[in-house]
A and B are shown apart, each in its own frame.
Chain A
Amino acid sequence: MAKVLMKGNEAIAEAALKAGATNYFCYPITPQTEVAEYLSRRMPEVGGVFLQGESELAVANMLFGASSTGKRVFTTSSSPGISLMQEAISYMAGAQLPAVIVNIMRGGPGLGGILPAQADYFQAVKTGGHGDYRVLVLAPSTIQEAVDLMMLAFHLADKYRNPVMMIADGMIGQMMEPVEFPEKYEEPPLPPKTWAATGAKGRDPIIIKSLYLDPNLLEKNNDILHDKYERMKKEEVRFEKYKISPKNEILLVAFGSMARICQTAIDELEKERISVGLFRPISLFPFPEKAVLDEVSKKNIGNVLVVEMSSAQMFEDVDRAAKGKKPISFYGRTGGIVPSPEDVSEQIKKLVAKRKPKTGKKAGGRK
């Protein structure tokens, strides 16, 4: 299909429809309300279900009920709203229910602000609900990628029978970019949803629950979940590299819109013959640990700089993955302030300067 100029929020909505997800529950919250407004028009056209609930908490529980039918369901919200959904997400993981939840992040904590941020990394990646469960987390950096990952999210949610989150900051929600949609989302085959509650006709009743009062049964359920998360770590790691080469002295690690800003900084620095590469995780869980370690271990890399619109959350995973191979530093702004390419370049130049004090003194001389 031809490219069309579209706002991120609306592109995400349309992508869901392309993936056959025509059941949407929502609650208004800046900066993603356009998804709901768009779908309130589109859903009737495709004969889907659109319902605005009384709170994000109720909406997430509607998702649990709707997902139990076996149909594809999703919701979108922003940071404070996603906090209200955490309990239901834990229940959906425990009951092995697929669902897609999109978080168009804004500055926090508390009511915070409405400008873009990435400060919900921990909430998504380490999970904000109770119990041993994980949620597969995808992070787009362009609106086209948001469309592609949104469709993929529904496939992965069904493949693993687990909630999948797509997190993007407010810019991706609010920006307009040309995007292209497939006629229909082509995806590998999936097993039939024999687990869905379709009415106990000719079979024993199906009970969709996360309650196991017997600790052995609850542990068994946790083991089933754990195995899925191990499988995700093997099969669903996604990342992208930008201008990574043996000439790089600095490696940047950033995700979402922050990564695009870093790309501009890298291009600018290239003109000043400072070679910097970027590693961009796309799947935040499963985190690309091995790939980060491989990049960081390269001899040419002197420093690693993690750049986020938060106060160092993904930084902890990068630090853990790097296993101390190289010094890792962090640069970030919060509150909705979006660092410019110049801000990033300035940080890189400081690192480069620190590494080469060529003026006469031997590097690392006693002082």
Chain B
Amino acid sequence: MKEAEQTIFARPESLTEAVTHYCPGCTHGVVHRMVAEVLDSLGVRERALGVAPVGCSVLAYNYFNCDFLEAPHGRAPALATGFKRLRPDMIVFTYQGDGDLASIGMSEIIHSANRGEKFTTIFINNAVYGMTGGQMAPTTLEGQITTTCPSGRNVAQTGQPIRVVELLSGLVTPAYLERVSVHTPRHIIQAKRAVRKAFRYQIEERCFSLIEVLSTCPTNWGKTPEEAVAWVEEALIPYYPLGCRKDPGQKESTDEAV
């Protein structure tokens, strides 16, 4: 008797059937799936509320099977704060890019983290403004070429790239802050654990949680998808070390590299 066929990997229920608008090889898609898988496994899809930013993931609401709000550029943490304060029983998450969170929205994310707002932020760091065609972002690396620093980022004029997880870990209010990457299968598996832990902390009403995900932007980096994931390893990770910076569960962890 032939064993019944078993599906061991399929689209999570929290992810819609839509074909995304993201460029081929852009790892936004991997993070979307990961968040949806976590919503499924924790059984919170039906009480989840996502807040989409302005940026490549501005259309995130088309890809998740849960209620969504669309925030003005940089203001997703404020919308999440307002919503979560009135509906603490719902699982609220913001999904933001580096321009949205670390540039125009820096005040909102710092104060939301400092108030210890009990929502979860998925922060995509791909070192450029993707949607608008690859401009310099606060996270653009020194010497990295973008459409607004064509001869490479000059840190003497524009300052050094911002390490958001480290920046936020300086706040005294407890939080769960971890930087992960999705450029190899192993890293994707570990990233999903961090995302799951973040949402679990929210379910337990423990603390604010932010996962910074190093992500690729093949189009605006001018690389193939394969070159892009390699560049994450060569260039992004050395400047943005992976690991947990703050976790209310354990003692303050130092740079425990993954």
Contacts and interface: CB of A to CB of B under 8 A. Distances in A.
Given A95-B70, A205-B66, A207-B61, 17 more contacts: A25-B82, A51-B81, A53-B111, A54-B111, A58-B81, A61-B108, A62-B79, A62-B82, A64-B72, A65-B79, A66-B86, A68-B83, A69-B87, A197-B49, A200-B66, A206-B67, A208-B69
B78 interface: yes
Given A58-B108, A58-B111, A199-B67, A65 B72 contact: no
Interface of A: 23, 25, 49, 51, 53-55, 57-59, 61-69, 71, 73, 87-88, 91, 95, 197-202, 205-211
A69 B72 contact: no
B69 A197 contact: yes
A129 to B, nearest CB: 10
Interface string B66-90: 1111111001001111111111001
Contacts of B70: 95, 207-211
B187 to A, nearest CB: 30
Nearest 7 A-B pairs (CB), nearest first?
A65-B82, A209-B70, A62-B82, A65-B79, A61-B78, A66-B82, A201-B46
B57 to A, nearest CB: 12
Interface of B: 45-49, 51-52, 58, 61, 64-72, 75, 78-87, 90, 107-108, 110-111
B18 to A, nearest CB: 12
A252 B48 CA distance: 55
B86 A69 contact: yes
A58 B45 contact: no
B255 to A, nearest CB: 30
Nearest to B64: A205
A106 B107 CA distance: 26
Interface-centre pick from B47, B82, B110 (highest chain A CB count, 10 A): B82
Contacts of A205: 61, 64-68
Contacts of B71: 61, 64-65
A62 B81 contact: yes
A55 B107 CA distance: 9
B215 to A, nearest CB: 22
A65 to B, nearest CB: 3
16 contacts: A54-B111, A55-B107, A57-B75, A58-B78, A58-B81, A65-B82, A65-B84, A66-B86, A68-B79, A199-B46, A205-B61, A206-B67, A207-B70, A209-B61, A209-B70, A211-B58
Contacts of B111: 53-54, 58
B36 to A, nearest CB: 12
B85 A49 contact: yes
A61 B65 contact: no
A270 B47 CA distance: 66
B67 to A, nearest CB: 4
A210 to B, nearest CB: 7
Given A201-B47, A207-B68, A53 B78 contact: yes
A57 B78 CA distance: 9
Interface-centre pick from B46, B47, B65, B81 (highest chain A CB count, 10 A): B81
A82 B119 CA distance: 27
A73 to B, nearest CB: 7
A164 to B, nearest CB: 18
B69 A66 contact: no
Given A197-B67, A208-B68, A66 B83 contact: yes
Contacts of A59: 78
Nearest to B73: A87
Nearest to A199: B47
A62 B78 contact: yes
B86 A71 contact: yes
A73 B83 CA distance: 11
A94 to B, nearest CB: 9
A61 to B, nearest CB: 4
Interface-centre pick from A25, A58, A71, A201 (highest chain B CB count, 10 A): A58
A65 B61 contact: no
B83 A65 contact: yes
B82 A61 contact: yes
Contacts of B69: 64-65, 68, 197, 207-209
A51 B79 contact: no
Nearest to A51: B85
A200 B83 contact: no
Nearest to B46: A201
A51 B117 CA distance: 11
Nearest to A197: B67
A208 B79 CA distance: 11
Contacts of A202: 46
A73 B61 contact: no
Contacts of B47: 199, 201
A65 B108 CA distance: 13
